[in-house]
Amino acid sequence: MARRRTLGADGGADEGPGRGRRARVVLVSHDTTPALETRIFTPDPDEDASTTGRFATWLNAEGIGFHDGTFDPEDIPRFLEAYQADGRVLWGVHDDAQPAEALGADHPVGTYGTMVHPLNVGSAQIEVHQITAVTVRASHRRRGILRSMMTRDLHEAKDRGLPVAILTASEATIYGRFGFGAATFTQSIEVDVRERFEVTAPATGTTTLVAREHAVRLAGQVFAGFQASTFGSVGRQYAYARRASGDWGRERPVEDRAVRMAVHYDAEGTPAGYVTYRFAGWETSPRTMKVLDLVAGTPSAYLELWRYLGSLDLIQVVTWDEARRDDPLPWALRDRRCYAVKGTDDVLWVRMLDVPAALGARSYRGSGSIVLDVQDDLGLAQGTFALAVTDGVAQVHIVDDGTAADVTLTVNALGSLYLGGVQASTLAAAGGLTAGAAEVERLDVLFGLAQEPYCITHF
């Protein structure tokens, strides 16, 4: 769940294609206080989609945490279909000892959800454990309900062989204590598209509006190319392409007719990027077009989509919340002062579960060896690990012979370092990593990327 309700960010009933456990799972435990019961389920193929079923009550309980209204009964089957496709595992903490007038014990007082999608770590895409939909009702907060669910879940995810857990955070203060580190970032931009806006690169291919009936398929197809080529990107959920294309609206899974989609076809006629956008309204000044989703599989597709946005008449500024921090756009403009950064956001938070598996899957730059001593209060990633990289390919083994480490770092620092979104030297300056200058420089080289990691999937 992200703090802002971007595409696919959830809270309520967002998003898509999952591959988590599909078996019927009903676990019951009494692990917080005697009055509380944790129930875990994966929606069945024939799950009850009525308002009194466990799925609807879970969904509405999650909505309470994010200040949503109760979901429309007609929408529940569509959300259920999306959650089934995602293979989501849904946790609810139930309190049977509430006053008679309180929302019934069927409505959990705490929610938690997980699913599995691929994370691009360079030469490979690894399946990672995603955590979402974390809520605890105001009446039950700060009694350890979140801590109980998360510590149990992280241990079980590690036991299932998932090397890394990821989430997007509503508040930056919550997840550090559970070993997560901020790992990828985006920036909000505002681009002045009046007369002085001009993309200087030579024009190529064609960019045009597409009909709604093709939009969901094209969004999925273009994103698949982006996912395969973008370090740090996470596979998207079922509902994402629907929301991106306007097939589903922001609040309800019904068509949003205000959303338009333009696709860029490259010189060979292949769809290489798309942008979806919505007009902010005539009363907004300056007149603003808001980009909802922009996915470009190639650098030229990216610039062509901006050339298209700059050609929209009657529009003065285009806004977008998901630009790269190392965005090439200002470097491609005749007047770079058309481009203004309005803010920076963290997107992915990464938590190591299995250090050898996670580090061993990632691509690196060059060659070199280093021994890491990882400090982890939850014990999941605690230990000393030798990383040996040859031409970008790593071998990692646990050190148990007393060999001294070159670097001591917190599990949070390793999570932040993992995708290369921050340099080791920056973490050393901030106190999360301790090493000699030569070792810090070696980490900077090995973990460095030509481009920043980039994730535009919220969950």
**6 annotated binding-site participant:** no
Catalogue the E-assigned strands of 124-193.
125-136, 164-167, 181-182, 185-192
Q: Annotated catalytic, 364?
A: no
Q: Find out whether 369 is annotated in a ligand binding site.
A: no
Given the DSSP bridges, would you call strands 407-410 and 368-375 parallel, antiparallel or unpaired? parallel
- Of the listed 180, 240, 364, 459, which one is catalytic? 459
5 assigned ligand-binding residue: no
Q: Which residue has the tokens 């960019």?
A: 207
Shortest separation between residue 348's beta carbon and ligand ACO, angstroms: 11
Distance CA 411, CA 353 (A): 9
Query: Before 286, cis peptide (omega within 30)?
Result: yes
Q: Is 143 annotated as a binding residue?
A: yes
Contact partners, residue 430, CB within 8 Å, separation at least 6 = none
User: What is the rounded radius of gyration, in angstroms, for the C-alpha atoms of the chain?
Assistant: 23
Shortest separation between residue 215's beta carbon and ligand ACO, angstroms = 28
Q: How far is the CB of 155 from ligand ACO (least distance, A)?
A: 16
C-alpha separations of 109 from 90, 99, 247, 259 in Å: 13, 13, 32, 35
Interface ranges with ligand ACO (CB under 6 A): 1, 65, 131-136, 141-147, 167, 169-171, 173-174, 177
Is 146 labeled as ligand-binding? yes
459 catalytic? Reply is: yes
Q: Which is nearer to ligand ACO, 142 or 337 (CB)?
A: 142
Of 71, 175, 302, 454, which one is the catalytic site residue?
A: 175
For residues 349-365, b (16+ Cβ closer than 10 Å) or e, as one string? bbbbbbbbbbbbbbbbb
Find the shortest distance in angstroms from Cβ 131 to ligand ACO: 5
CA 16 to CA 79: how far, in whole Å? 10
Residues taking part in catalysis: 175, 459
Binding residues: 134-136, 142-147, 170-171
